Structures are given as C-alpha cells and as structure tokens.
Amino acid sequence: MKPGEMKLPHLFQPGKLGRFETRNRIKYGACCVSNYNTRDGFITEREIARMRVIARTGCGIVTNQGAYPDPLGEGKAYFRQVAIFDDKFLPQFERIAADIKEQGAVAIQQILHAGRYGGIDLGYCVQPSDVPQTLPHFRPPKVMTKDEIRDCIRQHAEAADRSIRAGFDGTEITSFMGYLLANFNSRFTNQRNDEYGGSIENRGRFMRELIDGIKQATPDHPLVVRLNGAELMDKWGGNSEDECFELMQQAVDAGVDMLSVTVGWQEAPESSIGRDIPPGHWNYLSERAKKSFPNTLVTFGNRLPDPGMANDCLRDGVFDFWEVCRPLLADPELIHKAAEDRLDEARRCIGSLNCLSRLFRDLPYTCTMNPALGHEVEPEYQVTPAVVKKKVMIIGAGPAGMECAITAAKRGHEVTVFEKAARIGGNLYAYAMNDMARPDDLLSVISHYEVVAKKLGIEIRLNTEVHAKFMRSVLHQYDVCVVAAGARIDRTPFEHMEGADLMLDALDVAHGRVATGKRVVVIGGGKIGLTVAEALRKNQGAEVTVVEKDKRIAGDVKPAFKWRHASWVEELGIPCLTSSRPLKVTKDGVTVRDGKGVETFLPADTVILAAGAKPAHELFHEFEWMVDELHGVGDALIPRGLEQAIQEGFRLGVRL
C-alpha cells in the first residue's frame, strides 16, 4: 500500500457498482462536454487523446462525456458535442471504452439530451411546456407531444444499448445544468396538464419511464442518474429541495443503481461551482441523500476539490463515491499524487470556470491551471527532455515566469528566477489578498509553484531587480532570458490631466504598499479596479465609487464570472458610473464627465487609478543585444489574465 493510500484509506477502499468491482471510491464525472469533436457528432483524435489521459487518472469509475441520442439534434447542446444515435458512431466509442477498461476502471457512457438548452443547430429547443427562455442565447421552445416523448425515451434506450455494445459497462442520464430530464422534473419548465405534468408524481413520470426503458434495454448493466439536490431556481418558481428529494425517491424506486447529486441550472441566479462557493458548501445535500436512500449508492463532488476532504466525507457516510471532474482537468495526476502522499505538489482546481466560459462561447474548453488540456494529441505540448541543456534566466516570479521556469526545469534546463519583490507570485498575490471569493484558491497557485520549484532545484533570487546594468554584470552567464516581469498600471492616458499625480496606483493599493482613506474613487471598472473597490468596501468600510469609461463594468473578466462582480457591487452598495471619464483630480476629490457631457464632482480623500495596464516592453529593447535567446511571456507582452500567463509560460517552457 502506498503512503497516501494509508492516509486516505476510505478514498482508496474498493467499491462496487452493480456487478462491477471498483478499485477505489472515486468516480470521474462527465461535468461538461469538451467541444473537441466534429460538428456532425463524430469523436476526434483530439478527444481520444484527452480521454486517454482521463482513463489514466486512477479513478475506479470513469464516465465519458455526454452524447446526444436523437438524429434531429434536438438534444444537442454544444456545437461539437458527440452523438450516439446511430451505429456509425460506435468505432470511436469502442476505443474510449476499451482504453478505460484497460486501465482497470468501470466505464460509463453518459447520454445527454439538453432539452431547453438544446437544438443548437436547429433554431428551436424541445421541452415539456412553452416556457420562454430567460437567457437570450438559447432557442425558443417547442412543446413535446406524447408521441415525441415516447420517441425520446426509445432513443435513450437505444443509445444505452449502443453504449453497452461499444464496450461500456453502464450508462448515465443527467438533469445537471437544467437539461431535458430536469425540464420534466421541475415546476418551472413543466407546466403540462396531462399525465406528464402537474403533480410531482406526474412530473417524474418521464424520468421513471426513461429509467425503465434503459433498464429493459441494458439488463445487468448499472444505470446512474444525476439529479439536482437543489435547483437554485426559486426566482423562476423551480423545485424546492424537498421536491428534489422526492424525485430522487422516485428514481430509487424505479431501480437506479447510483444517484449522482448535483446542484444548479445554467439559468440559476446563484453560483454552484465557482470559486465564490467554499469547498464542502453543498455536502449537506449529499449527506441528506445518503441518509434518505441508504441502500442506493450516492456519488457527489460539487465544489469538493480536495481528496482529503473527500476521504473524510466517505468516512462519515456523506456519500459512497467521490465524483470528481474539474479537479482532474486541472491536475490529471491528482489521484496518483494523493496515493503517493504528494498532494503538496497538486494543482488545485481554483473554480475560475474558464472551462464553462469557453463553452458558453461555443469554444473547446480549456483549463486555467492545465495548459495541456485539449492539446494531449499534440507532441509540441509534451514535456520532453531538452536536446540541448541551457542556462535559463527568468525575470519575474509571477505565474507566467514560474510556469515557464518549472516546465523548463522538468526538461533538464538549469533555471534561475529573478524577482524584485520579497515573495513570488507577482500581481496574483495582490489579487488574492483582495479577493471577495476564495483567496486561498488563488494563493494555492503560488504555493504550488513554491513547492515544485524547490523540488526541481530552481534557484529563486528575491529582492533582485533586473535592469540593463544588472544584465551587463551577468553577460554570457545565461543562454536564455525570459522576460516575465508583468505589467503596471498605465498612467500615460492621464499624464496631462490636472492632478494626475494625486492618483494612487491600484496595484500599490492591492499589494498593501500604500494606505487609503475612507472616501475612495476608483478610476477603472475592470478586474483590478473592481477587486480593489470591493475589498476596500468590505474590509475597511470605505465609501467607494467606481468610474468606468465603457458602458459596462467587468470588461476584462471571464464570462462566467462577470455576473459575480456585478452582484458584489450591488450587494456592497458601490455606485458605478459607466461611460464616464475623469477630468480633474484635487485633494478633495475628482471631477468626472459622463457620455452625455454632464460633469459631476465626486468628493474623495483617495483616488485610485485602475484603468488599464502597461507591459514591461522596455526590457526587451534593453536586453536585445545581451543574450543569445530573448523571449517574453504573460503580461510582459500583453496584459491579460491568469489563464494566458500560465498557458504562455508553459508553451515557452516546452520549447526552450
């Protein structure tokens, strides 16, 4: 037994699903589709390579991503979602199933009919009732007839049979995110007056018939059903938690082998899996399910990224299997690191939801923490031994610099990192210290770099600023110089404005290098401006106003998190003056002009500039003739976000 397995005995205890033995109590969950496949539903080599990595994560059960079961594509939710409505799709499914089972895992195929969120190529969606969309990018509804309901159940059963013939051990249907199963179950979208609507018994009829149809088509093969423990749809008249559990009871009575407890719809006005939700927040739903249905397997993993916490939940009977997806996208080695007692090296899923943000823009998903996700089939993204070992100097110990340093060191290069501050992390540390969501998640990125850099023998020289004079002192000592010095607040647009020198730098404020007063105006409603404004309001009780030149705030925030900043601003009572620009700053405040030309004076004892960032381009010019190879990554090239910093640091590291 490995050392980590002894520390986490419940996690690595063998289990059982139906007639199949599992090597541990971990289920890889099909949290969302990858969008790596073809527009007509065929699985690509890119997806095969991704699933090859997933098969090797060490999970006892591995669920393949959801495939839509109908030839019209009414169930298709994403442009490049895989299909399973015909035998012509089976060869690639056979490859995935065989690979999962070859790695010793039980293979489950999810069948995903998106219902209200489907019909992406059709211009309409199908659902139980004519309930208008609350989000404009989804399609107008078409009400399903009884014949269409029966056809849909038959298509699911045929898809399940096809999955078993492809080599999968069992199947899964899902209501997660508000798909068709949830549409029938919920009071919000099911307003029928026939036997499929009205009472909760009738609303659950579609689910029961779906379970029965699949069980008849695939006898002796387990069926997993993912059901909401909480819809979070109270605003729209959705199900209560009690109703959700009544529906679980119906599923149990219908003979499901495993309940997967999930949380939320895409339309829910509350967060369910973002980093603003503390790990373990939803455990009570799983615990209730386990107590309510002691003879049915329960699997759960919503906002539960930590193997140690999962082990404790298994010990305490909160669930039978830890269902994990995004943490294994962030670090496919997470389970192996847990088994080998190397969790200090793990990359944590920080809940930034870059995966969902990409899907919501009809793009293949990627991960902030895992630059190789989606590129597993490409040799250029593999960390391989360097042909020529080089001495590499990296300027800046932020995420871009540290990612590059670690990747280069893994290839065998000798790496030294120079950082002018007293700690690593760059501006990510400043964001973390002012974060309204989960500072610990952002700080985990920095601690990961600290641990891995030490294990790889990377030298980090803190309190060392690299400039032209310094470079001349180390001439010819390094083969490669990587500029990862980040960016600073750009004062250039305001250099001729009266009182510009009175404005504090937002990054200086975020790092705690300068103090602020009690009446604050923040110029710039992007990510750094909002982060500072929210922190000053919440932590120091300051009266804060945000001035933003664009029509909306949060312009540089990920799509899946824009709403969160908007809600925080509202909750904290922070006025945001959009389409407005500063005209003059004095010691008493700032005068701003809106889009209609109206000028307003905002009293303030502190004005903070957060409107735009400027990269460290001057270093490239200074060092051009001082080193053999000169490269740049992250904000030193173009100021953007954490994802781009990590991605670019990795991509440069694998090819140095």
CATH (domain of 536) = 3.50.50.60
pLDDT per position as a tens digit, 173-192: 999 899 999 999 999 999 99
Q: What is the mean pLDDT of the chain?
A: 96
If asked whether residues 207 and 182 sit together in one domain, one would say: yes
Give the mean pLDDT of 36-63: 98
Looking at residue 184, its pLDDT comes to: 98
pLDDT per position as a tens digit, 459-484: 999 999 999 999 999 989 999 999 99
Do residues 349 and 438 make contact, with C-beta atoms less than 8 angstroms apart? no
Give the mean pLDDT of 203-217: 98
Q: Do the domain assignments include residue 365?
A: no
The residue whose two tokens read 């139906």 is: 18
Does 31 have pLDDT greater than 90?
A: no
If asked whether residues 499 and 353 sit together in one domain, one would say: no
Does 275 have pLDDT greater than 90?
A: no
Does 598 have pLDDT greater than 90?
A: yes
Looking at residue 32, its pLDDT comes to: 80
Do residues 413 and 654 make contact, with C-beta atoms less than 8 angstroms apart? no
If asked whether residues 556 and 639 sit together in one domain, one would say: no
Query: Would you state the structure tokens that stand for residue 520, as one six-digit string?
Result: 């604050």
Q: Do the domain assignments include residue 364?
A: no
pLDDT per position as a tens digit, 79-113: 999 999 999 999 999 999 999 999 999 999 999 99
Q: What share of the chain is helix, strand, coil (3-state, %, to 5)?
A: 35, 20, 45
If asked whether residues 79 and 224 sit together in one domain, one would say: yes
Do residues 271 and 351 make contact, with C-beta atoms less than 8 angstroms apart? no
Looking at residue 336, its pLDDT comes to: 98
Do residues 48 and 3 make contact, with C-beta atoms less than 8 angstroms apart? no
- 344, 359, 374: which is the final residue of a domain? 359
Looking at residue 40, its pLDDT comes to: 97
Give the mean pLDDT of 477-504: 96
Query: At residue 566, what is the residue type?
Result: A
If asked whether residues 407 and 527 sit together in one domain, one would say: no
H/E stretch holding 17: strand 15-17
pLDDT per position as a tens digit, 537-557: 999 999 999 999 999 999 999
Q: Do the domain assignments include residue 558?
A: yes
Query: Would you state the structure tokens that stand for residue 512, as one six-digit string?
Result: 């705690």
If asked whether residues 301 and 402 sit together in one domain, one would say: no
Q: Do the domain assignments include residue 317?
A: yes
Range of the domain at 434: 386-486+616-653
Looking at residue 353, its pLDDT comes to: 85
The residue whose two tokens read 């029965």 is: 212
- Residue 638 belongs to a domain with what CATH number? 3.40.50.720
If asked whether residues 510 and 631 sit together in one domain, one would say: no
Residue 5 banded pLDDT, cuts 50, 70, 90: very high
Query: Would you state the structure tokens that stand for residue 492, as one six-digit string?
Result: 């250039």
State the helix-helix crossing angle for 283-292 and 241-254, rounded to 10 degrees: 40
Alpha carbon distance 454, 80 (integer Å): 41
Alpha carbon distance 519, 504 (integer Å): 13
- The domain tally of the chain equals 3
If asked whether residues 460 and 585 sit together in one domain, one would say: no
Give the mean pLDDT of 627-643: 96
Give the mean pLDDT of 219-231: 98
Residue 328 banded pLDDT, cuts 50, 70, 90: very high
Do residues 116 and 77 make contact, with C-beta atoms less than 8 angstroms apart? no
Burial-class residue 505 by CB neighbours within 10 Å (0-12, 13-18, 19+).
middle
Give residues with Cβ within 8 angstroms of 571, minimum separation 6. none
Q: Do the domain assignments include residue 189?
A: yes
Give residues with Cβ within 8 angstroms of 239, minimum separation 6. 185, 186, 187, 188, 228, 231, 233, 247
Query: At residue 273, what is the residue type?
Result: I
Alpha carbon distance 419, 398 (integer Å): 9
Q: Do the domain assignments include residue 366?
A: no
Residue 509 CB neighbour total at 10 angstroms? 27
Residue 616 CB neighbour total at 10 angstroms? 20
If asked whether residues 195 and 58 sit together in one domain, one would say: yes
Give the mean pLDDT of 236-247: 98
Looking at residue 270, its pLDDT comes to: 86
If asked whether residues 518 and 565 sit together in one domain, one would say: yes
Does 616 have pLDDT greater than 90?
A: no
Nearest in space to 67 (alpha carbons), one of 45, 89, 94: 89
- 305, 324, 359: which is the final residue of a domain? 359
Residue 354 banded pLDDT, cuts 50, 70, 90: confident
**Residue 255 φ/ψ, nearest 5 degrees:** 105, 20
Reduced 3-state DSSP string for 162-221 = HHHHCCCCEEEEECCECCHHHHHHCCCCCCCCCCCCCCHHHHCHHHHHHHHHHHHHCCCC
- Residue 317 belongs to a domain with what CATH number? 3.20.20.70
If asked whether residues 155 and 185 sit together in one domain, one would say: yes
Alpha carbon distance 245, 467 (integer Å): 63
Q: What is the pTM of this model?
A: 0.95
Alpha carbon distance 342, 350 (integer Å): 18
SS3 323: strand
Does 359 have pLDDT greater than 90?
A: no
Does 332 have pLDDT greater than 90?
A: yes
DSSP string, 609-655: E-S-EEE-THHHHHHTTTSSEEEE-GGGTS---HHHHHHHHHHHHTT
The residue whose two tokens read 């405040």 is: 589
Do residues 158 and 217 make contact, with C-beta atoms less than 8 angstroms apart? yes
Give residues with Cβ within 8 angstroms of 501, minimum separation 6. none
Q: Do the domain assignments include residue 560?
A: yes
CA end-to-end distance (rounded Å), the chain: 39
- 359, 376, 405: which is the final residue of a domain? 359
Looking at residue 225, its pLDDT comes to: 98
Number of H helices, E strands in the chain: 22, 27
| Letter string b/e over residues 372-409, b meaning 16 or more CB atoms within 10 A of that residue's CB | bbbbbeeeebeeeebeeebebbbbbbbbbbbbbbbbbb
H helical segments located in 56-89:
none
Residue 152 CB neighbour total at 10 angstroms? 24
Q: Do the domain assignments include residue 604?
A: yes
If asked whether residues 91 and 148 sit together in one domain, one would say: yes
Looking at residue 273, its pLDDT comes to: 87
**Residue 581 φ/ψ, nearest 5 degrees:** -135, 150
